[in-house]
Structure 1
Amino acid sequence: MSINREIREPRIFTPSELRLFGRVFERAKRKGQSEAHREALASRIVANYMAGITDEAELLALSRQPPGR
């Protein structure tokens, strides 16, 4: 039995997308967070964006939520 997996091409983000990620990250991070928490936050921001969330306010709200919510 084989598992059918979708293979995606690597994604290169535009400068405006990177600025969006930076703005969302700066607003979502919390003082005193560990490096691991900040890395997880950055990953959620990019994952949410790649899932189709492109509105900045919505991206911020969803990325602040803990994983699995």
Structure 2
Amino acid sequence: MPIRRKATEAGILEPEELALLGRVFEQIKGNGQSPGQDAIASRVIANYMAGVTDEAELVSLSKQPLGR
């Protein structure tokens, strides 16, 4: 699963944090295999690392492309 690989690359996360990120990723990616799964995983982790810990807010923000 891309979210686990990306989360591992980002550093050490607690099991509860990884579970949260996994739930958010599953809600965003929807059904089937999306070619942008790595990008979705990166957005979820980036938003979490920026301090967004509320699941609903994390889903909402992670659906949008990262600002540069």
Q: TM-score range by the shorter chain?
A: 0.7 to 0.9
Q: Which has the larger radius of gyration?
A: 1
Per residue, is there more helix in 1 or in 2?
2
Query: TM-score under structure 1 normalisation?
Result: 0.74
Q: Higher relative contact order by CA 8 Å / sep ≥ 6: 1 or 2?
A: 2
RMSD of Structure 2 on Structure 1 (CA): 1.9
- Which sections of structure 2, spanning at least 5 residues, go unmatched? 1-9
- How many residue pairs match? The answer is 58
Gapped regions of structure 1 (runs ≥ 5): 1-9
Report the Cα offset of residue 33 of structure 1.
1.5
Would you say 1:21 and 2:1 are equivalent positions? no
TM-score relative to the length of structure 2: 0.75
